[in-house]
Structure 1
Amino acid sequence: MLRNGTESIGECSTSTSASSQQDIEDDRMIAVLLTEEYANLDNAVGRRLSNLAPIAHVPRINTYIPNISDASMDHQRLLERLNAYNLFEVKVSGDGNCQFRAISDQLYRSPEYHKHVRKEVVKQLKENRSLYEGYVPMKYKKYYKKVAKSGEWGDHVTLQAAADKFAAKICLLTSFRDTCFIEIVPQYQEAKRGLWLSFWSEVHYNSLYEIQAAPVQPKPKKKHWLF
């Protein structure tokens, strides 16, 4: 009986793994089609923020998480900036995948392809070690294996890897007092598109649109971080 039970568990595990892999592959195929559809869209957000001087981006891993008070103050500052530039946030789940969800929303007009985005970013990290290793203060293999896990937070290194992988200029409207606008550009190729994200207090990313072009949002299934 134990032998049969073990075999059943193994079969179930194999089936679940295969199903998960198929889901990611399905996401990849859909994402390719959506990329072609949205790649040439005019970016109204970029025009609204064209007068802002971007701060140079330095890739780094997450080292600081603000307390509730600091995060709340930062959130209010970000809301004021969004209102000033007539921008709208598509809010994504604060489940540890928010950076990848926000990038997915900008690329494919849906945050639901975040698994595909994460997989492509991890592939970029693995295949181009020399570009990113110097920014990672730990065993590099341990780092990208950690990033590969669903729910692991993205950081400024994964942002750079995403910019490189998707040939995209990633622009962050931030909640920071002295750093309003950060721009991440591909290192060795021309940017073919712009991705616009809000970045709140080192802990959460959302996807940005001009208010007039904002998509209709379904009610979120999960609570966002703090708010």
Structure 2
Amino acid sequence: MAHMMQNEGASSSSTSTSLSSQKSETDDDRMIAIVLSEEYANLDGAIAKRLSNLSSIPHVPRINTFIPNLSDASLDHQRLLQRLQAYGLWEVKVSGDGNCQFRALSDQLYRSPEHHKHVRKEIVKQLKEFRSLYEGYVPMKYKQYYKKMAKSGEWGDHLTLQAAADKFAAKICLLTSFRDTCFVEIVPRNQPPKRELWLSFWSEVHYNSIYEARDFPGQCKPKKKHWLF
């Protein structure tokens, strides 16, 4: 009996240590996000000035319903590349693993795509807490929608972009591959924007982070946790 109690105590201690480690890692990630957000919170209007002659189309929050075929996607990509070149912009290409919207937003917010899990979590939190703002755009059970969106690898859509704009008090600017227009602005609903986030949007399927070519932080290494210590 004493031996069994000793084993149970060791197991309980191991579980407690594991939970403590997970909590510490979560707290570290939260601290990183806060520090980096403050570091890059100043509004950067450089790209906005460069594209000031463009008129944007109204943003309509909606979920993903259409995926283009390979031929259409290839033509769209070429059109987007021409626009980036014409305006002197450079893409920070992020992984096309289903998290690209959140990776691109992370790169704009924190200068690293690696905080995409935190970004997704904050956006889903916004969707859950302010249901009335977004539910009308979702043609399915709303709880099913945000639970699906909480999963890593689930594609972000125009509704998660609106939630991101609202959550981070940011104007999100999309340079797109659309044939009829190349510029979409998404503004926070209930507050003035405190920053601008610039993304490229290719053929309804992929997002990248964009900067002025001369300011492209291509040589910058991703932020690591030990940088804060």
TM-score calculated relative to the size of structure 2: 0.86
Judging changes above 3 Å, is the alpha-carbon distance between structure 1 residues 82 and 98 closer, same or farther for their aligned structure 2 residues? same
Query: Deviation of residue 22 (structure 1)?
Result: 4.6
CA 1:96–1:22: 2 relative to 1, 3 Å: farther
Structure with bigger gyration radius: 2
* 2:122 paired residue number: 120
Deviation at 1:42, TM superposition (A): 2.8
| TM-score where L is the length of structure 1 | 0.87
Q: 1:13 to 1:151 in 2, by over 3 A?
A: farther
Given candidates 134, 139, 142, the residue that maps to 1:137 is 139
Deviation at 1:29, TM superposition (A): 1.1
SS in 1 for 2:192: coil
Structure 2: gaps (5+ residues): 1-11, 222-229
Residues 112-159 of structure 1: CA distance to partner in whole angstroms, max 9, x if unpaired?
Answer: 110110000000000000000000000000000000000100000000
1:24 shift after superposition: 4.0
After superposition, the C-alpha distances for 1:170-193 in whole angstroms (9 at most, x for unaligned) are 000000101210000001111110
In structure 1, which of residues 93, 102, 122 is the aligned counterpart of residue 95 of structure 2?
93
Are 1:147 and 2:169 an aligned pair? no
How many equivalent pairs are there? Answer: 213
Equivalent pair of 1:24/1:115 in contact (CA under 8 Å):
no
2:115 and 2:35 mapped to 1: Cα distance? Answer: 12
Q: Which of 206, 214, 217 is residue 215 of structure 1 equivalent to?
A: 217
Moved more, 31-40 or 120-129: 31-40
Match of 1:53 in 2: 55
Map 1:169-180 onto structure 2 (within 5 A): 169-180=171-182
User: What stretches of structure 1 move > 4 A for 4+ residues in a row?
Assistant: 10-22
Letter in 2 for 1:39: A
Aligned to 2:201, the other structure's residue is in SS state: strand
Q: Tell me, what secondary structure is at the counterpart of 1:169?
A: strand
Match of 1:39 in 2: 41
Residues 1:104 and 2:106 are matched in the alignment: yes
Please report the RMSD computed on the Cα atoms of aligned residues, expressed in angstroms.
2.4
1:217/1:202 CA distance change after superposition, 3 Å: farther
- Given candidates 187, 194, 197, the residue that maps to 1:195 is 197
- Deviation of residue 25 (structure 1)? 3.4
